[in-house]
Amino acid sequence: MGFSLSILPWIYTAKYINQSWKGNFEEKKHFSFEEELQLSSQDKSELLAKRNELGQLPMVSYTSQYGMGCFEGLKAFPQKDGSLKIFRPDENAKRMKSSMEGLHMPGIDEKVFLNAVKGIAKRNQELGFTPEYASVWEKDNFLSGHSIYIRPFTYSEAAIGLGYSEAPWFIVISTPVSSYFGTGSSKAITTDRIRATKRGTGWIKCDANYVIPTLAKKEAEQQGYMEAIFLDSMESKYIEEGSSSNFFILLNDGTLVTPSLGDTILPGITRKSIMTLAVDMGLTVVERQISIEEALDAGKECFVTGTAAGISFLESMTHKGKTKVFNAGKMGELTKELLLTLKGIQYGSKEDKYNWMVSV
Protein backbone atom coordinates (compact mmCIF):
# COMPACT_ATOMS: atom_id res chain seq x y z
CA MET A 1 0.00 0.00 0.00
CA GLY A 2 1.52 3.21 -1.15
CA PHE A 3 -0.05 5.87 1.04
CA SER A 4 2.06 7.47 3.70
CA LEU A 5 1.74 10.83 5.33
CA SER A 6 4.92 12.33 3.86
CA ILE A 7 3.50 15.75 3.22
CA LEU A 8 5.57 17.60 0.62
CA PRO A 9 6.97 21.02 1.58
CA TRP A 10 4.74 23.33 -0.45
CA ILE A 11 1.13 23.58 0.68
CA TYR A 12 -1.69 25.98 -0.13
CA THR A 13 -4.16 27.53 2.27
CA ALA A 14 -7.06 29.86 1.59
CA LYS A 15 -9.80 31.23 3.81
CA TYR A 16 -13.18 32.60 2.88
CA ILE A 17 -13.19 36.17 4.17
CA ASN A 18 -15.53 39.01 3.16
CA GLN A 19 -17.20 36.98 0.41
CA SER A 20 -13.99 35.92 -1.29
CA TRP A 21 -11.16 33.40 -1.12
CA LYS A 22 -7.87 34.78 0.17
CA GLY A 23 -5.11 32.27 -0.31
CA ASN A 24 -1.39 31.77 -0.48
CA PHE A 25 1.28 29.16 -1.01
CA GLU A 26 3.40 28.24 1.97
CA GLU A 27 6.76 26.50 2.04
CA LYS A 28 6.96 24.33 5.11
CA LYS A 29 10.25 23.43 6.73
CA HIS A 30 12.38 21.06 4.67
CA PHE A 31 15.91 20.08 3.71
CA SER A 32 16.84 18.88 0.25
CA PHE A 33 15.19 15.67 -0.92
CA GLU A 34 18.53 13.83 -0.64
CA GLU A 35 19.22 15.21 2.83
CA GLU A 36 15.80 14.11 4.00
CA LEU A 37 16.55 10.57 2.84
CA GLN A 38 19.58 10.58 5.14
CA LEU A 39 17.67 11.68 8.26
CA SER A 40 17.27 9.26 11.13
CA SER A 41 13.74 7.94 11.34
CA GLN A 42 13.11 10.02 14.45
CA ASP A 43 14.33 13.24 12.82
CA LYS A 44 12.30 12.43 9.74
CA SER A 45 9.12 11.83 11.67
CA GLU A 46 9.60 15.05 13.65
CA LEU A 47 10.07 16.97 10.43
CA LEU A 48 7.00 15.37 8.85
CA ALA A 49 4.95 16.05 11.96
CA LYS A 50 5.90 19.74 11.65
CA ARG A 51 4.77 19.77 8.03
CA ASN A 52 1.44 18.41 9.16
CA GLU A 53 0.80 21.34 11.48
CA LEU A 54 -1.13 24.44 10.61
CA GLY A 55 -1.05 26.74 13.61
CA GLN A 56 -4.11 28.79 12.77
CA LEU A 57 -6.55 25.85 12.65
CA PRO A 58 -8.82 25.76 15.70
CA MET A 59 -8.99 22.59 17.77
CA VAL A 60 -12.78 22.70 18.23
CA SER A 61 -14.66 23.24 14.99
CA TYR A 62 -17.60 21.94 12.96
CA THR A 63 -15.07 19.73 11.17
CA SER A 64 -13.30 18.24 14.18
CA GLN A 65 -16.52 17.76 16.19
CA TYR A 66 -19.17 16.86 13.62
CA GLY A 67 -17.37 15.84 10.44
CA MET A 68 -18.55 18.95 8.56
CA GLY A 69 -15.87 18.95 5.94
CA CYS A 70 -15.19 17.63 2.49
CA PHE A 71 -12.22 16.77 0.35
CA GLU A 72 -10.87 15.74 -3.02
CA GLY A 73 -8.20 13.37 -4.26
CA LEU A 74 -6.34 13.74 -7.54
CA LYS A 75 -3.02 12.73 -8.97
CA ALA A 76 -0.09 14.27 -10.83
CA PHE A 77 1.95 11.95 -13.05
CA PRO A 78 5.62 12.35 -14.06
CA GLN A 79 6.00 12.41 -17.85
CA LYS A 80 8.84 11.16 -20.00
CA ASP A 81 9.83 14.70 -21.02
CA GLY A 82 10.36 15.64 -17.37
CA SER A 83 7.10 17.51 -17.00
CA LEU A 84 4.33 16.77 -14.55
CA LYS A 85 0.67 16.47 -15.54
CA ILE A 86 -2.49 16.25 -13.48
CA PHE A 87 -5.41 14.00 -14.45
CA ARG A 88 -8.66 15.94 -14.98
CA PRO A 89 -8.24 18.54 -12.21
CA ASP A 90 -11.11 20.60 -13.67
CA GLU A 91 -13.46 17.72 -12.76
CA ASN A 92 -12.17 17.67 -9.18
CA ALA A 93 -12.60 21.44 -8.99
CA LYS A 94 -16.26 21.14 -9.99
CA ARG A 95 -16.92 18.30 -7.58
CA MET A 96 -15.20 20.11 -4.70
CA LYS A 97 -17.39 23.13 -5.30
CA SER A 98 -20.55 21.02 -5.34
CA SER A 99 -19.47 19.07 -2.23
CA MET A 100 -18.88 22.30 -0.33
CA GLU A 101 -22.20 23.72 -1.44
CA GLY A 102 -23.84 20.42 -0.51
CA LEU A 103 -22.63 21.09 3.06
CA HIS A 104 -23.85 24.71 2.82
CA MET A 105 -20.38 26.20 2.78
CA PRO A 106 -19.32 28.78 0.25
CA GLY A 107 -18.06 26.71 -2.70
CA ILE A 108 -14.47 27.03 -3.82
CA ASP A 109 -13.92 29.05 -6.96
CA GLU A 110 -12.82 26.54 -9.62
CA LYS A 111 -9.99 28.82 -10.74
CA VAL A 112 -8.70 29.08 -7.17
CA PHE A 113 -8.80 25.28 -6.93
CA LEU A 114 -6.88 24.77 -10.18
CA ASN A 115 -4.32 27.41 -9.37
CA ALA A 116 -3.73 25.80 -5.96
CA VAL A 117 -3.31 22.19 -7.12
CA LYS A 118 -1.14 23.12 -10.09
CA GLY A 119 0.84 25.59 -7.98
CA ILE A 120 1.83 23.18 -5.24
CA ALA A 121 2.63 20.40 -7.73
CA LYS A 122 4.89 22.76 -9.68
CA ARG A 123 6.63 24.19 -6.63
CA ASN A 124 7.31 20.76 -5.12
CA GLN A 125 8.65 19.58 -8.45
CA GLU A 126 11.00 22.55 -8.62
CA LEU A 127 12.26 21.64 -5.14
CA GLY A 128 13.11 18.15 -6.38
CA PHE A 129 10.43 16.40 -4.30
CA THR A 130 8.57 14.77 -7.18
CA PRO A 131 9.36 11.25 -8.43
CA GLU A 132 11.09 11.35 -11.78
CA TYR A 133 9.79 9.38 -14.72
CA ALA A 134 11.47 5.96 -14.86
CA SER A 135 11.61 3.88 -18.05
CA VAL A 136 11.34 0.67 -16.01
CA TRP A 137 7.67 1.56 -15.39
CA GLU A 138 7.06 0.92 -19.09
CA LYS A 139 7.92 -2.76 -18.57
CA ASP A 140 4.78 -3.40 -16.57
CA ASN A 141 2.73 -0.76 -18.38
CA PHE A 142 3.07 1.70 -15.49
CA LEU A 143 1.55 -0.59 -12.88
CA SER A 144 4.67 0.15 -10.83
CA GLY A 145 4.58 3.86 -11.71
CA HIS A 146 4.85 6.48 -8.99
CA SER A 147 2.80 9.64 -8.79
CA ILE A 148 1.87 12.53 -6.53
CA TYR A 149 -1.42 12.34 -4.67
CA ILE A 150 -2.96 15.77 -4.13
CA ARG A 151 -5.45 16.21 -1.30
CA PRO A 152 -7.54 19.40 -1.18
CA PHE A 153 -9.83 19.65 1.85
CA THR A 154 -11.87 22.05 3.93
CA TYR A 155 -11.67 22.89 7.62
CA SER A 156 -14.21 25.00 9.46
CA GLU A 157 -13.91 28.01 11.70
CA ALA A 158 -14.03 27.55 15.49
CA ALA A 159 -17.45 26.40 16.72
CA ILE A 160 -19.08 24.02 19.17
CA GLY A 161 -22.79 24.33 18.35
CA LEU A 162 -24.34 22.86 15.22
CA GLY A 163 -24.05 25.00 12.16
CA TYR A 164 -22.80 25.55 8.67
CA SER A 165 -19.24 26.62 8.09
CA GLU A 166 -19.46 30.17 6.76
CA ALA A 167 -15.75 30.95 6.79
CA PRO A 168 -13.98 27.68 5.97
CA TRP A 169 -10.38 27.10 5.12
CA PHE A 170 -9.54 25.44 1.84
CA ILE A 171 -6.22 23.62 2.13
CA VAL A 172 -4.19 21.60 -0.37
CA ILE A 173 -1.40 19.21 0.55
CA SER A 174 0.30 16.47 -1.45
CA THR A 175 2.23 13.28 -0.86
CA PRO A 176 4.11 10.80 -3.07
CA VAL A 177 2.42 7.45 -3.77
CA SER A 178 3.35 4.13 -5.26
CA SER A 179 0.61 1.64 -6.22
CA TYR A 180 -2.38 1.54 -3.89
CA PHE A 181 -3.44 -2.06 -3.44
CA GLY A 182 -0.82 -4.63 -2.63
CA THR A 183 -0.44 -7.76 -4.69
CA GLY A 184 -2.32 -9.80 -2.10
CA SER A 185 -6.00 -10.74 -2.09
CA SER A 186 -8.39 -9.04 -4.46
CA LYS A 187 -11.44 -10.81 -3.11
CA ALA A 188 -14.54 -8.82 -2.25
CA ILE A 189 -17.37 -9.51 0.16
CA THR A 190 -20.69 -7.72 0.55
CA THR A 191 -21.18 -5.91 3.83
CA ASP A 192 -24.49 -5.52 5.59
CA ARG A 193 -23.51 -2.08 6.77
CA ILE A 194 -25.14 0.85 4.96
CA ARG A 195 -22.87 3.51 3.45
CA ALA A 196 -25.47 5.97 2.20
CA THR A 197 -29.20 6.47 2.35
CA LYS A 198 -31.64 8.26 0.07
CA ARG A 199 -31.65 12.01 0.70
CA GLY A 200 -28.39 11.64 2.62
CA THR A 201 -24.87 12.74 1.75
CA GLY A 202 -23.66 9.73 -0.28
CA TRP A 203 -23.13 11.87 -3.38
CA ILE A 204 -20.90 14.33 -1.50
CA LYS A 205 -17.21 13.63 -1.00
CA CYS A 206 -17.49 14.49 2.69
CA ASP A 207 -15.55 13.40 5.74
CA ALA A 208 -18.57 11.90 7.50
CA ASN A 209 -19.17 9.40 4.69
CA TYR A 210 -15.92 7.62 5.44
CA VAL A 211 -16.71 6.31 8.90
CA ILE A 212 -18.90 3.39 7.84
CA PRO A 213 -16.76 2.31 4.85
CA THR A 214 -13.70 2.25 7.10
CA LEU A 215 -15.48 -0.08 9.52
CA ALA A 216 -16.72 -2.27 6.66
CA LYS A 217 -13.36 -2.44 4.92
CA LYS A 218 -11.51 -3.34 8.10
CA GLU A 219 -14.09 -6.04 8.85
CA ALA A 220 -13.66 -7.42 5.33
CA GLU A 221 -9.89 -7.41 5.71
CA GLN A 222 -10.12 -9.28 8.99
CA GLN A 223 -11.98 -12.00 7.11
CA GLY A 224 -9.29 -12.14 4.41
CA TYR A 225 -10.95 -9.97 1.77
CA MET A 226 -9.60 -6.84 0.16
CA GLU A 227 -12.79 -4.94 -0.45
CA ALA A 228 -16.26 -4.51 1.05
CA ILE A 229 -19.14 -4.04 -1.37
CA PHE A 230 -22.11 -1.95 -0.23
CA LEU A 231 -25.68 -2.76 -1.20
CA ASP A 232 -28.58 -0.31 -1.28
CA SER A 233 -30.16 0.78 1.99
CA MET A 234 -33.77 0.00 1.06
CA GLU A 235 -33.66 -3.62 -0.03
CA SER A 236 -30.03 -4.72 0.44
CA LYS A 237 -30.36 -5.99 -3.09
CA TYR A 238 -28.61 -3.64 -5.52
CA ILE A 239 -24.88 -3.05 -5.66
CA GLU A 240 -23.79 0.50 -4.89
CA GLU A 241 -20.05 0.95 -4.37
CA GLY A 242 -16.88 -0.44 -2.91
CA SER A 243 -15.54 1.10 0.31
CA SER A 244 -14.33 4.19 -1.51
CA SER A 245 -14.52 3.19 -5.14
CA ASN A 246 -17.12 2.81 -7.89
CA PHE A 247 -18.25 -0.60 -9.09
CA PHE A 248 -18.20 -2.09 -12.60
CA ILE A 249 -19.14 -5.50 -13.92
CA LEU A 250 -18.79 -6.99 -17.38
CA LEU A 251 -21.69 -9.36 -17.98
CA ASN A 252 -21.53 -12.57 -20.00
CA ASP A 253 -23.55 -10.85 -22.75
CA GLY A 254 -20.72 -8.34 -23.21
CA THR A 255 -22.29 -5.25 -21.65
CA LEU A 256 -20.38 -3.27 -19.08
CA VAL A 257 -22.64 -2.21 -16.23
CA THR A 258 -22.07 0.32 -13.47
CA PRO A 259 -24.68 1.39 -10.92
CA SER A 260 -26.48 4.55 -12.02
CA LEU A 261 -25.75 7.69 -10.04
CA GLY A 262 -28.27 8.96 -7.56
CA ASP A 263 -27.89 10.60 -4.21
CA THR A 264 -26.26 7.50 -2.72
CA ILE A 265 -23.38 7.05 -5.16
CA LEU A 266 -20.28 9.18 -5.44
CA PRO A 267 -19.81 10.43 -9.01
CA GLY A 268 -16.26 9.18 -9.52
CA ILE A 269 -14.04 10.82 -12.10
CA THR A 270 -12.31 7.52 -12.78
CA ARG A 271 -15.78 5.99 -13.26
CA LYS A 272 -16.69 8.65 -15.80
CA SER A 273 -13.35 8.23 -17.60
CA ILE A 274 -13.63 4.44 -17.75
CA MET A 275 -17.11 4.74 -19.23
CA THR A 276 -15.73 7.02 -21.96
CA LEU A 277 -12.83 4.64 -22.71
CA ALA A 278 -15.11 1.59 -22.79
CA VAL A 279 -17.54 3.23 -25.22
CA ASP A 280 -14.52 4.14 -27.34
CA MET A 281 -13.50 0.48 -27.41
CA GLY A 282 -16.90 -0.33 -28.85
CA LEU A 283 -18.48 -1.68 -25.72
CA THR A 284 -22.07 -1.19 -24.68
CA VAL A 285 -21.88 0.63 -21.35
CA VAL A 286 -25.01 0.79 -19.24
CA GLU A 287 -25.69 2.76 -16.08
CA ARG A 288 -28.46 0.99 -14.22
CA GLN A 289 -29.32 -0.79 -11.03
CA ILE A 290 -27.67 -4.18 -10.81
CA SER A 291 -28.65 -6.67 -8.16
CA ILE A 292 -26.10 -8.75 -6.33
CA GLU A 293 -27.89 -11.88 -7.60
CA GLU A 294 -27.51 -10.80 -11.23
CA ALA A 295 -23.84 -9.94 -10.69
CA LEU A 296 -23.17 -13.36 -9.19
CA ASP A 297 -25.13 -15.15 -11.92
CA ALA A 298 -24.05 -13.27 -15.03
CA GLY A 299 -20.78 -11.53 -14.15
CA LYS A 300 -17.68 -12.22 -16.21
CA GLU A 301 -15.21 -9.56 -15.05
CA CYS A 302 -15.53 -7.24 -12.12
CA PHE A 303 -13.55 -4.23 -10.96
CA VAL A 304 -13.71 -1.09 -8.82
CA THR A 305 -12.39 2.35 -9.73
CA GLY A 306 -11.06 5.41 -7.94
CA THR A 307 -8.17 7.85 -8.05
CA ALA A 308 -6.18 6.07 -5.36
CA ALA A 309 -6.41 2.60 -6.89
CA GLY A 310 -7.07 3.43 -10.54
CA ILE A 311 -8.73 0.15 -11.49
CA SER A 312 -8.64 -2.84 -9.15
CA PHE A 313 -10.01 -6.08 -10.48
CA LEU A 314 -12.01 -8.25 -8.11
CA GLU A 315 -11.13 -11.92 -8.38
CA SER A 316 -14.27 -12.98 -6.57
CA MET A 317 -17.29 -11.76 -4.73
CA THR A 318 -18.83 -13.41 -1.70
CA HIS A 319 -22.40 -12.76 -0.64
CA LYS A 320 -24.27 -14.62 2.11
CA GLY A 321 -21.76 -17.46 2.05
CA LYS A 322 -21.87 -17.92 -1.72
CA THR A 323 -18.73 -17.08 -3.70
CA LYS A 324 -18.56 -16.24 -7.38
CA VAL A 325 -15.08 -16.34 -8.94
CA PHE A 326 -14.64 -14.05 -11.95
CA ASN A 327 -12.46 -15.06 -14.89
CA ALA A 328 -10.85 -17.95 -12.95
CA GLY A 329 -9.55 -15.43 -10.41
CA LYS A 330 -7.36 -13.60 -12.93
CA MET A 331 -7.64 -10.06 -14.21
CA GLY A 332 -9.93 -10.18 -17.23
CA GLU A 333 -9.00 -8.98 -20.70
CA LEU A 334 -11.31 -5.98 -20.75
CA THR A 335 -10.27 -4.90 -17.25
CA LYS A 336 -6.66 -5.11 -18.33
CA GLU A 337 -7.21 -3.16 -21.51
CA LEU A 338 -9.02 -0.40 -19.63
CA LEU A 339 -6.34 -0.30 -16.94
CA LEU A 340 -3.50 -0.10 -19.47
CA THR A 341 -5.29 2.55 -21.51
CA LEU A 342 -5.93 4.69 -18.45
CA LYS A 343 -2.35 4.35 -17.15
CA GLY A 344 -0.97 4.95 -20.64
CA ILE A 345 -2.87 8.23 -20.91
CA GLN A 346 -1.81 9.27 -17.43
CA TYR A 347 1.90 8.58 -17.99
CA GLY A 348 1.84 9.92 -21.53
CA SER A 349 2.55 6.74 -23.51
CA LYS A 350 -0.95 6.73 -25.07
CA GLU A 351 -2.65 9.52 -26.95
CA ASP A 352 -4.58 11.87 -24.70
CA LYS A 353 -7.33 12.51 -27.18
CA TYR A 354 -9.76 13.95 -24.66
CA ASN A 355 -7.22 16.43 -23.25
CA TRP A 356 -7.57 14.96 -19.78
CA MET A 357 -3.98 15.71 -18.77
CA VAL A 358 -3.19 19.22 -17.55
CA SER A 359 0.36 20.55 -17.23
CA VAL A 360 1.36 22.09 -13.92
Ligand X SMILES: *Cc1c(COP(=O)(O)O)cnc(C)c1O
Based on C-alpha coordinates, what's the Rg of the chain?
21
| 247-276: contacts with ligand X (CB under 6 A) | 266, 268-271
CB of 14 to ligand X, least distance (A): 22
Stretch that binds ligand X, among 5-13, 30-38, 106-114, 242-250 (CB under 6 A): 242-250
Q: Which of residues 160 and 211 has its CB atom nearest to ligand X in the complex? A: 211
The number of residues that bind ligand X (CB under 6 A) is 14
Angle of the 269-280 helix axis to the 89-102 helix axis, nearest 10:
140
Total H helices, total E strands in the chain? 10, 17
Nearer to ligand X, 207 or 315 (CB): 207
Instruction: Give CA–CA dist 359/346, Å, rounded.
Output: 11
Q: Which of 75, 187, 205, 217 is catalytic?
A: 205
Choose between 70 and 159: whose C-beta lies nearer to ligand X.
70
DSSP 80: T
> Does 150 contact ligand X by CB under 6 A?
no
Cα 320 to Cα 296, 324, 351: the distances in Å are 11, 11, 44
The 57-96 site mask, x for binding ligand X (CB under 6 A), equals ----------------x-----------------------
Residues 297 to 316 in contact with ligand X, rule: CB under 6 A: 305-307
- Please classify residue 37 by burial: count the beta carbons closer than 10 Å to its beta carbon, then call 0-12 exposed, 13-18 middle and 19+ buried: exposed
Q: Can you tell me whether residue 212 is helix, strand or coil?
A: helix
CB 184, CB 193: distance < 8 Å = no
Q: How far is the CB of 277 from ligand X (least distance, A)?
A: 13
Binder among 241, 315, 357, 360 for ligand X (CB under 6 A): 241
With binding defined as CB under 6 A, does residue 244 bind ligand X? yes
- In whole angstroms, the minimum distance from the beta carbon of 59 to ligand X comes to 26
Per the annotation, the verdict on 22 as an active-site residue is no
Q: Strands across the sheet with 10-17, in order?
A: 20-27, 10-17, 169-177, 147-155, 74-78, 84-87, 357-359
Q: How far is the CB of 244 from ligand X (least distance, A)?
A: 5
Q: What share of the chain is helix, strand, coil (3-state, %, to 5)?
A: 30, 30, 40
Of 357, 238, 353, 339, nearest to 291 (Cα)?
A: 238
Question: For the window 167-206, what string marks contact with ligand X as x by the rule CB under 6 A?
Answer: --------------------------------------x-
Rule CB under 6 A: which residues touch ligand X?
73, 205, 241, 244-246, 266, 268-271, 305-307
Question: Would you name the residues annotated as active-site residues?
Answer: 205
